[in-house]
Structure formats: structure tokens, C-alpha cells
Structure 1
Amino acid sequence: MGFKDSWKQLKWGDIVTLEYGKALRGYKEKTSGYPVYGTNGQIGFHNEFLSKTPGVIIGRKGAYRGVHFSKKPFYVIDTAFYIKPRNLDELDLRWAYYELLTKDINSMDSGSAIPSTSRNDFYALPVFLPPLEEQKSIANILSSLDEKIETNNQINIKLEEIAQAIFKQWFIDFEFPNEDGKPYKSSGGEMVESELGMIPRGWKVGKLLEIAEILMGQSPKSEFYNTEEDGLPFHQGVSNFGYRYPTHSTFCTQALRVAKEGSILISVRAPVGRLNIADSELIIGRGLGAINSKNNCNSYLYYLLQKTFEVEDRFGSGTIFNSITKKELEHIKILIPRAELMDSFDNIVRNLDEQILIYTKEIRVLSNLRDTLLPKLLSGEIRVPAD
């Protein structure tokens, strides 16, 4: 049986209405409660909701208007719509969310001065609607992948928080283990004066170049760029930076400046100080630098740079846009602990960083699988038994 024999050919206006969001104050101060959504996704929490069930949110105003799903009751502000089914016995909202991900919402423009989603265009959009049980089966497959991806993301965040907490305890609060395994400063560890304040004896104020090697990027000619994965991944700046690791969309066959796998990538112009890590050899353009530890302590160096550049554009200069030179990077003042302490930290935290990389690679596999299955399941090319 072809899918057209059991799927109804309808228009979205036959099965849903687009409800307007409402203006709301105070949601940005909230950190718990019901999620609040706008054009580009969740923007906070509030103690009120507009929809008492999970549901689909569609951006209404702005250059980019996305489709989002809330697993719990939610609020929508006035830059977005939310879907209200005409018949809950006919439509699974999770299926509706995935179906709408295959559509170009941004093309449904009302023609106003500010780009705005046209309700009439949306209502006229055709849809092939499977039976409810088949909708649920499709949504179960896709949502199980999304849930695993989200679980991995949350694990990665927790692992990094653990590493950051250890770094703060050891190198900011100076509570690293002393010879007896007790917190150094609070156990009476000797502190001495420095130009950066009181520091543990044996530490010193130095420059980044004393513990790190810095390679500045150089951009090949555009004739060597491609999207067919010929050559090495190429990154000009931060446009493809992700959580920890960049995604690769451009490749290059002219390798002028190559960051080796594991190098800390740092943006050196507009903005200065954003970080990622190279998950493979890659070519860096003029907007990036690659930094590596001189004593094989890249995990320590990564968290040091995180702290040093926690405020972007803190360093650098420029009349048109901010940038930083290699010399300026090399001469940034830092505290340099004893070498054995950096090494001890790295031995502990390197395991956490390796786990983050493993989970990140799994996220990519799952994401590719979901993105491959999504259009095939929603078009009926791949059928799912209702049971």
C-alpha cells in the first residue's frame, strides 16, 4: 500500500491554528518555571503559561524564524506563534514539530517592513498527514535520537563544570593539595606578594609565551576552497565554532598554517578570545590562532585561557574591529604555577576532556542519523509500523 492510500492530503490550516504570543515582562530574571519562547527559541522562564500542554512554537518576526518544541507547558511572547490543533485526536504535536522542520518557514513572509511569518501562507501549506498512531511512531524514533543528543550535551556541560571547578579551586582560590593532601591556602600555605596580588610561594607572574606556543593563521586564496572535503578543514574565524569543537563545512587544498589535532583555537579578531579545540588537523585563516602547551598540559592551558578570556575583547585593539597580534598574545600576563602542579591538574582533567570528545563525536553521529531519517520518515519514503 502506498502512503497516499493511508495518509491524508490536507493543508496546515485544516488541522491547526496559529495562536499569537503575548508580551511578557520579567521572564529574563527567572531561572525556573515554565519555559518562555520567542522567534529564535527559549529565552527564559516564567511562572505563567499560555499553553497548558507541550507544543510547537513558530517564529513570527525577524530575519530568521525557527520552529521549536516545548516538552512542558510554555509561554510564547509576541514575536512568535504557537500551534493549536483543531482536533487532538488527529494530530501528534511532536510529529507536527518534525514535519515543520522540513519546511522553510522564513519564506512565508507577509511583506511587512520587518520580516514576519504570513499566517495565510502557512495555512495554505500542503501536508500529508499519516494516521495518528503512525505519527506517534515516527515522532518516537526522532525524539529518542534528540533525547540522546540532549543527554550527551548535558553530560558534557557537567563534565566541563567539574573541570572548571577544579581549576578554580587550585589556581584561583589556591586550594590545590599541599604535601599532606590538604587545601594549600586554608591550611596555612605560604603566600608571597606579586604584581598580581598574593600568590603561593614557588609561583610567579609571567607571560603566556613562557608556557605556550602560538601559531597565527594565514588565509589561502579562495580558489583553493571547496565543500567536497578535498584537503583539510579550513576555518577563517568563529562562524563554525561549536561547543568546544568546530563543525567543518569548508575545506582547503593549500595548507599554509595548520593547527594540529588538540590545538586550542582562539579567535584573534572580532571577537578576540573565543575558544574551540581542533578535533583534527585543520587549516587556520587570519581570524584564528592555534595555541599549544610547551609542557604537554593542553587541558590546563585550555582552562587557563577560558578564565583569561572569559570576557571577549578584553584584550586587543583596533579602530574598525578589535584584533590582537601574536606579540600581544604572547605577552599577556599570567600566573605560572609550579610545573608539577600543572601536570597533576592535567592528569586529572585530561580524562574529563577525553570523555567530552567521545560524547561530542557520538552527538555528531546521532545528529547525522536524525537529519538523514527526518525527511525520509516525514515524506513516507521510509514507513514505520504503527505498533
Structure 2
Amino acid sequence: MAGDSVFECTVGDVAALGRNSLVGGPFGSDLVSRDYVPSGVPVVRGSNIGHGRWVDGEFAYVAPEKADALAANCAKRGDLVFTQRGTLGQVALVPQNGADRYLISQSQMKLTVDAQKADALFLYYVFTSAEQQAYIRQNAIQTGVPDTNLGILRNTPLTLPPLAEQKAIAAVLGAFDDKIELNRRMNATLEAMARALFQSWFVDFDPVRAKLDGRPPANLDPATAALFPEHLEDSLIGHIPKGWEVCSLASKIKLLSGGTPKTSEPDYWDGDIPWYSVKDAPSETDVWVIQSEKHVTKLGIENSAAQILPEGTTIISARGTVGKLALVGTPMAMNQSCYGVRGVKGYGDYFTYFALRQATADLQQRTHGTVFDTITRQTFETLDCIFPPANLTQAFDRTVAPLLTKLRANLHQSRTLATLRDTLLPKLLSGELSLPAAMLAAQAGVAGTTDKV
């Protein structure tokens, strides 16, 4: 551990004085699904941990009165929340700019830290370290679903440097996460801009309606504006721009199949080719998939139904969790539970991706299967959609390309920053790397330098 003086203790030793500083979730019958309401006090569940430093994501809520009744199980700003059962090792902080309080679910535990002994952000990084993750796995209760408990958490050993050094280490590591979070927010804006443009052009027909009203289409150069017709016409599914067509989704796309190399053949796996499954699906705001949990070899591709998908291919999950989308950001293969989708000749990659996003809800309603929800090639034939001429989809691709290119670059930068942060983490905790050297590395990394430490 960095520094000349360290403090050997347990998690229980750094819990704040007073009651309920280290507690689990409420008793099972005290919090059930019928307690959830549309708004109120957020409930931290497993799905709200794993988004980086902070509890985040889509929350369930309980009424303030319910939270009052379960006040002992509430977490406040700056508290640490740990997963108790299921995906062990998850940890997150309650954000300072979030709600005043959060109710933790039955599968979580929370720690209020004594600020005179430990820094909560530093402890977050300690618990994300490989050493601490290994300790959690080794001490888990393995009967049935792996779980841990308050006693195990309370007695978890810690080695802490002086408080000032804890804060300094947390600040260095936090600089990486601050930049990653900034990239995430920027990407959400970029994706929203591209999605709004698709909605305006191809769903609301704003440029066509502007021409109908005798106005020039807003924010369009003359060449692009000229691609839009000046009138609407009747179709089987309502008014559409003149010259556009209503046809099956299948008629404007090409479907590519996936496959799985034999898992019993070690020469087929752990190669350098990403192999996509639905668990690798990015969030809607990230759009691109640039990495995967598993990788295959060229030999695995050659001896299976898997194929390499080029950049710009849209992947859609077709079995189980149907409708998860990803835009391929680096050549990769995928399993047989997905389809790769390319537009027919002349139809752009980005238009195809957003057209599929627009059609996802309808595709999900057309699923079938006795065990898993499934869409097949025939499913795409059952869905009629509105399609503009190919040259207009190409204009859309040219317009949104700078947005999506920057979005992908941000994802790559965030991945590089996360790798550098994870490289620094054990070196800082062990004292192998001094704080001044780490600060220089952080400054260089956040500025875009990718030199290895």
C-alpha cells in the first residue's frame, strides 16, 4: 500500500458511528413488487449497480411513506452499495447529485463510511480491485445462488493509507472516470441528435411538410432539401411523401447468419476475433459494439457457420431477448441467436440501423416460440415500412456520419482510459507506483496519451 503508514482494519471499523451504518435490505415480505409506484424514492436493485461509480439506470420507486417505514434500509449520498446475492463483487456509490435517499433492495447492502477514517470513493476503488474481487469470490456462500452477508462484509479486511493519501489516490483514479462519464454524456447527446434527425426526416416528414407550407426545410443545404418531395400521397398505411414506397422490411435488407464454433475445440477460441452475443449489446446511446466478452480464432470461423461481419453491419438479437441492436464498430463474428443486417444496394448503414430501431417494437410483437421469443427471416417479411429513395438514405448517412464517428471515437477513448485506470489501480494500492507518477500518468491518459505505465 502506498505511503509510510498504513492502517490494518476491517470494513466494520470504518463504518460510521450510530445505527444502520452497515445494513442489508429489508426483509423479503417488507418490500414486494406491489409496493412500487411510478415516482417517489428510488430503489437500488442489482440492475442499478454496474454502471460505473454511481448507482444508475432505470429505477423502481416506492412512496415516501414506504421509505419512511424502511428508513433503516435507506442509503444516502456518499454511501456505498454492495450486491449481496447474484452477481457478487458489484459495488457503487450513491451520487452526490442524486436523490436525497435511496431504498436498497433485499439483494443489496449499504455502508455509510466514517469520513474521519476512510474516503468512500477510495473504498469504491479498493472493492473494484482484482485482489478484493478475489476475496469476495473466495468467501462467498456457494450453496445455491452465490451470496454473501453482512457478517462477511463487516469482517472484510482492509489496508488503508492515511486519509489524505486515500483522497489523493481516489482523485487520480477518479480523473479517468470523470472523463469516461463526460464521454458517456457526450455520446448520449450525439445519439439523440442522430435519432432526432431520423425521426424528423423519415417519421414526421418535416422537410416535406415544410415544403407543403411554402417554407424551406430547416437546417438543410439546398442539395439535400431538393431530395425531399413537395407533396404527400395516400398509401396502405396512411399519408407518405410522394414517390416513397411502402414495402416489407425484408425487401430492403440483407440478413446474415451467425454461428458458434465447437466449444470443445480449444483452437477455435481465445483468438483475436470478437464474437458477439446479446450480453455484449451496447446501450442505445452507445450504438456501437467495439468489444465482446468472448473471442474466436480464424480457424474457428472457418470451421463453423460463423462469419466476419464488416463495420457498419447492424446486429439484432433474434432469440430470447429480442430486438437488442448494435452497430458493428470493428469486424467481428456473432452467434446464431442474432442476425447481421445490411441495407440492400444504395441503402446506407446508418439509415438501416435507425430504421431497425424504429421497427423494433413491431418486430417484438411478432415474436413466436414455445420456450424463447424468436424472430425469423419470415418475421421481417410480415412488417411493412415506409422507405424513401436510396439517395435520401445516403444523404442521411452523410449527415449523421460525423456524429456517429465521434461517438465511436469516444467509446474507444473510454476503453483506453478504463484500461489505464485498471493498470494504475493495483500499483497505487500496493505502493508500486508513487502518487506523483500516477498523477502524471492520469494527466497524460486523460489528455489522450495511450502510453502504457
TM-score range for the pair, normalised by the shorter chain length? 0.7 to 0.9
2:259 maps to 1:221 = no
Equivalent residues in 2 for 1:250-329, closer than 5 Å: 250-253=295-298, 254-255=300-301, 256-293=306-343, 294-310=345-361, 313-329=364-380
The match for 1:242 is 282
Candidates 182, 188, 193, aligned match of 2:217: 182
CA distance in 1, matches of 2:428, 2:162: 13
Write out per-residue CA displacement over residues 208-227 of structure 1, whole angstroms, 9 at most, x where no aligned residue: 34432221223333325322
Residues 361 and 90 of structure 1: is their aligned pair in 2 closer, same or farther, counting only changes over 3 Å? same
Residues 206 and 53 of structure 1: is their aligned pair in 2 closer, same or farther, counting only changes over 3 Å? closer
CA distance in 2, matches of 1:330, 1:221: 32
Contact 1:216–1:290 (Cα < 8 Å) also in 2:
yes
The match for 1:29 is 38
Residues 37 and 108 of structure 1: is their aligned pair in 2 closer, same or farther, counting only changes over 3 Å? farther
Candidates 170, 195, 213, aligned match of 2:236: 195
CA distance in 2, matches of 1:98, 1:377: 10
CA distance in 1, matches of 2:144, 2:257: 43
After TM superposition, give the deviation of residue 82 of structure 1 in Å.
1.9
Residues 314 and 381 of structure 1: is their aligned pair in 2 closer, same or farther, counting only changes over 3 Å? farther
Residues 108 and 299 of structure 1: is their aligned pair in 2 closer, same or farther, counting only changes over 3 Å? same
After TM superposition, give the deviation of residue 8 of structure 1 in Å.
1.6
Candidates 84, 92, 98, aligned match of 2:125: 98
Contact 2:318–2:374 (Cα < 8 Å) also in 1:
yes
CA distance in 2, matches of 1:123, 1:113: 22
Q: Flag structure 1 segments of 5+ consecutive residues without an equivalent.
A: none
The match for 1:376 is 427
Q: Flag structure 2 segments of 5+ consecutive residues without an equivalent.
A: 16-20, 49-54, 219-224, 440-453
2:74 maps to 1:67 = no
- After TM superposition, the score normalised by the length of structure 1 is 0.85
After TM superposition, give the deviation of residue 328 of structure 1 in Å.
3.5
Residues 270 and 117 of structure 1: is their aligned pair in 2 closer, same or farther, counting only changes over 3 Å? same
After TM superposition, give the deviation of residue 379 of structure 1 in Å.
2.7
CA distance in 2, matches of 1:309, 1:6: 57
Residues 45 and 139 of structure 1: is their aligned pair in 2 closer, same or farther, counting only changes over 3 Å? farther
CA distance in 2, matches of 1:225, 1:214: 25
After TM superposition, give the deviation of residue 344 of structure 1 in Å.
2.2
**One-letter amino acid of the counterpart of residue 111, structure 2:** I
- Secondary structure at 1:239's aligned position in 2? helix
| Coordinate RMSD, CA, aligned | 3.2
After TM superposition, give the deviation of residue 347 of structure 1 in Å.
1.7
CA distance in 1, matches of 2:376, 2:331: 23
CA distance in 2, matches of 1:35, 1:321: 31
Contact 1:55–1:82 (Cα < 8 Å) also in 2:
yes
The match for 2:51 is none
Candidates 344, 350, 354, aligned match of 2:395: 344
- Secondary structure at 2:317's aligned position in 1? strand
Contact 1:8–1:128 (Cα < 8 Å) also in 2:
yes
After TM superposition, give the deviation of residue 116 of structure 1 in Å.
4.6
Residues 182 and 356 of structure 1: is their aligned pair in 2 closer, same or farther, counting only changes over 3 Å? same
**One-letter amino acid of the counterpart of residue 174, structure 2:** S
CA distance in 2, matches of 1:240, 1:110: 28
The count of corresponding residues between Structure 1 and Structure 2 is 378
Contact 2:258–2:335 (Cα < 8 Å) also in 1:
yes
Contact 1:10–1:128 (Cα < 8 Å) also in 2:
yes
Contact 1:92–1:136 (Cα < 8 Å) also in 2:
yes
Candidates 54, 60, 81, aligned match of 2:109: 81
Contact 1:212–1:292 (Cα < 8 Å) also in 2:
yes
- Secondary structure at 1:259's aligned position in 2? coil
2:63 maps to 1:13 = no
Residues 106 and 189 of structure 1: is their aligned pair in 2 closer, same or farther, counting only changes over 3 Å? farther
Equivalent residues in 2 for 1:44-193, closer than 5 Å: 50-51=74-75, 53-62=77-86, 64=88, 66-72=90-96, 73-79=100-106, 80-85=108-113, 87-102=114-129, 103-104=132-133, 105=136, 108-109=139-140, 116-176=147-207, 181-182=216-217, 189-193=230-234
After TM superposition, give the deviation of residue 182 of structure 1 in Å.
3.0
After TM superposition, give the deviation of residue 123 of structure 1 in Å.
2.3
CA distance in 2, matches of 1:59, 1:188: 56
CA distance in 1, matches of 2:163, 2:183: 30
**One-letter amino acid of the counterpart of residue 216, structure 1:** S
Contact 2:195–2:354 (Cα < 8 Å) also in 1:
yes
- After TM superposition, the score normalised by the length of structure 2 is 0.74
- Secondary structure at 2:124's aligned position in 1? helix
CA distance in 1, matches of 2:338, 2:229: 43
Contact 1:56–1:93 (Cα < 8 Å) also in 2:
yes
Structure whose residues are more often strand by fraction = 1
Percent of counterpart pairs with the same letter? 28
- Secondary structure at 1:309's aligned position in 2? helix
Structure whose residues are more often helix by fraction = 2
